[in-house]
Structure 1
Amino acid sequence: MTTVEDKATAAATGASATERFRTDKAVAADTSPERASLLAREVLEAVHETIRKHNVTYAEYDALKAWLIQVGADGEWPLFLDVFVEHVVEEVANAAREGSKGTIEGPFYAPGAPQFGAEGTLPMREGEAGTPLTFHGQVRSVAGVPLANSTVDIWHCDDEGFYAQFAPGIPEWNLRGVFTTDENGNFTIHTIRPAPYQIPTDGATGAIIRAANWHAWRPAHLHLKVSAPEHLLITTQLYFPGDPHNDDDIAAAVKPELMLDPKPTAGGVDVQYDFVLDPA
């Protein structure tokens, strides 16, 4: 019998992430020719300066060309860019926020998850492995006003580090859901604690990781998009203390403000985290 581990290859994951991006986000940017010229020129100048500074050889240049071609052939550009570049884009885009901290979305978001009220259980397989987790909190404004009817869109990997819709053999909406807060801005989500995982390493992204002698681990985390009318959406991730890769996350997405404080319960783990949204 073929397992998820056997089939969750970088190429398959990359193809899923690429297709999802094309479906959901591939829109023309409203960027002027002057802005496009500025950004493209400065990126190229940075590459040129690196070549000069380190006396890059033709053999190294050809290796780079071959690797760039393979990233495209493997469909891994969403994976590579989201792991190694997005955290800086997020940092710049959200620098002026006063409310909750954001971090990267990553390549595994899928819109249209099942809708719930203020409390519910994420879709799971029968006998879903993992420690039961109750996650609850409040959504409020920077002025401290509870935000009723806010949306809490949550997704995360399973106990083996795999995401529904990006690894085979997992139901479409497994461990994905959208919750709506009550009149006091509160929500309660029942799920399982996600596992740390390695990003797929059998493709081109893995090749550069091995060549540089880096690791490929992401710490365990919950993904969230939290929004409310007349407020700015926040995209973020929440992390668990004690994970060995909180300090060296390959995606550089961990922030101290995003660390949870789990409390053991008779049936599993309880965590509380409140979200503060900036006005639009």
Structure 2
Amino acid sequence: MRNVTSETLTDLLLNLSGPDTDPRVQEVLGALVKHLHAFATEVGLTHSEWRKGLELLTRAGEISDAERNEFVLLSDVLGLSSLVDMINSPDDCTSSSVLGPFHVLGAPQLPVGGDLIGDNAGQQVVVQGVVRDQAGAPIEGAVIELWQTADNGLYSGQDATQPDYNLRMAMTTGADGRYAVSTIRPTPYLVPTDGPAGDILNATGRHAWRPSHLHFIIEAAGYRSLVTEVFPSDDPYLDEDAVFGVREDLVMEFQPGTRAALPADIEARDRLDEGFSSVEFDFVLPPA
């Protein structure tokens, strides 16, 4: 290898793979190497710039923990998360959207119709709908995770005043595929700018605002898992999302709610404020 040059290095590296290398690993890793090397050559990457990039990744690791993943946030603000979502979203199913850095495993299980409002301030809302397959049939046994910010724009885990798993839940659909939960309306918020992702936003003059949204993960046997988020139609940042998560089919409509119109299983129905809202939003999953 003593005669390797900048022109021959890429092919030399790619040809080092052994005969038992998985073809998909070779395809993905090979393309990554080609694009990384081409990027460094195109911009004439300097030693100081290279070191700065390594420092950015090191800081992302240092700031990440069980309640915040800075690598996910970096992927989000660079548009990679949304590009992967778009590539892998079938046209006739609910679109994928970014996971975000604040998903936490182990959310408590609620029955259909359960209450997340608790002691949380904010506009109350009942969110309900049906998980369906591509033919429109309800999916029984779909496990839904939902998580969101409190009225102050912070997730539990970011905010010491919130109890563990505040505004987070899991729910399993019955034979009718239905989910339903009472909660509060989420608010727009700034993604954290105290880490490498914030450095990129600040360096390029971009704002850090996200429109308000509800996060969902939906999993069901025999179907592809869906990671997505749903956005109010009247949010001021709907067309200015810092992480490019909004899709046309992920916009929900808040309507004035009435107790008389609510199903009997809405646990909080008799405690809801007079001005509560109602949202109906269905999800469509593709087969695995």
Letter in 2 for 1:158: A
Alpha-carbon distance between aligned partners in 1 of 2:275 and 2:173, rounded to the nearest angstrom: 24
CA separation in 2, counterparts of 1:233 and 1:138? 15
Counterpart residue number, 2:139: 147
Q: Which residue of 2 aligns with 1:224?
A: 216
Select 1:254's aligned residue among 226, 235, 246: 246
Matched, 1:113 2:107: yes
Please list every run of 5 or more consecutive structure 1 residues that lacks an aligned counterpart in the other structure: 1-29
Normalising to structure 1: TM-score of the pair? 0.78
Counting only pairs closer than 5 Å after superposition, residues 76-225 of structure 1 correspond to structure 2 as 76-84=70-78, 85-92=80-87, 94-96=88-90, 98-122=92-116, 124=118, 126=119, 128-225=120-217
1:276 shift after superposition: 1.2
SS in structure 2 at match of 1:143: coil
1:142-190 Cα shifts (integer Å, max 9, x gaps): 1111122322211111111111134323211100111122321112110
Pairing partner for 1:273 from 278, 281, 285: 281
CA shift in 2, pair 1:143/1:197, >3 Å:
same
The structure with the largest alpha-carbon Rg is 2
Q: What is the deviation of 1:44? A: 0.6
Moved more, 228-237 or 95-104: 95-104
Long gaps (5+) in structure 2: 1-21, 65-69, 258-273
Query: Are 2:89 and 2:96, in contact at CA under 8 Å, matched by a contact in 1?
Result: no
Map of 1:9 onto structure 2: none
Shift of 1:244: 2.0
Counterparts in 2 of 1:210 and 1:150: CA distance versus 1, 3 Å: same
Counterparts of 1:154 and 1:107 in 2: how far apart (Å)?
A: 14
Does structure 1 retain, via aligned residues, the 8 Å contact 2:186–2:213? yes
Identity %: 32
Residue 160 of structure 2 aligns to which amino acid in structure 1?
P
CA distance in 2, matches of 1:61, 1:279: 43
Runs (4 or more) in structure 1 with deviation over 6 Å come to 56-59
RMSD: 2.4
Q: Which residue type is aligned with residue 161 of structure 1?
A: G
Measure the CA separation in 2 of the matches of 1:149 and 1:74.
36
1:235 alignment counterpart? 227
Q: Compared with structure 1, are the counterparts of its residues 62 and 150 closer, same or farther at alpha carbon in structure 2 (3 Å cutoff)?
A: closer
Aligned match of 1:44 = 36
CA contact (8 A) 1:135 1:272 kept: yes
State the one-letter code of the partner of 2:141: N
Q: Compare 97-106 and 60-69 and name the one that shifted more.
A: 60-69
- Match of 1:113, SS state, is coil
Residue 12 of structure 1 corresponds to none
Tell me how many residue pairs correspond in the alignment. Answer: 245
Q: How far apart are the structure 2 equivalents of 1:38 and 1:275?
A: 36
Could you tell me how far apart the structure 2 residues matched to 1:247 and 1:46 are? 33
Is the CA contact (8 Å cut-off) linking 2:85 and 2:95 kept in structure 1?
no
For 1:42, the aligned partner's letter is K
Question: Counterparts of 1:101 and 1:32 in 2: how far apart (Å)?
Answer: 25
**Aligned with 1:45: secondary structure?**
helix
Q: 1:123 to 1:269 in 2, by over 3 A?
A: closer
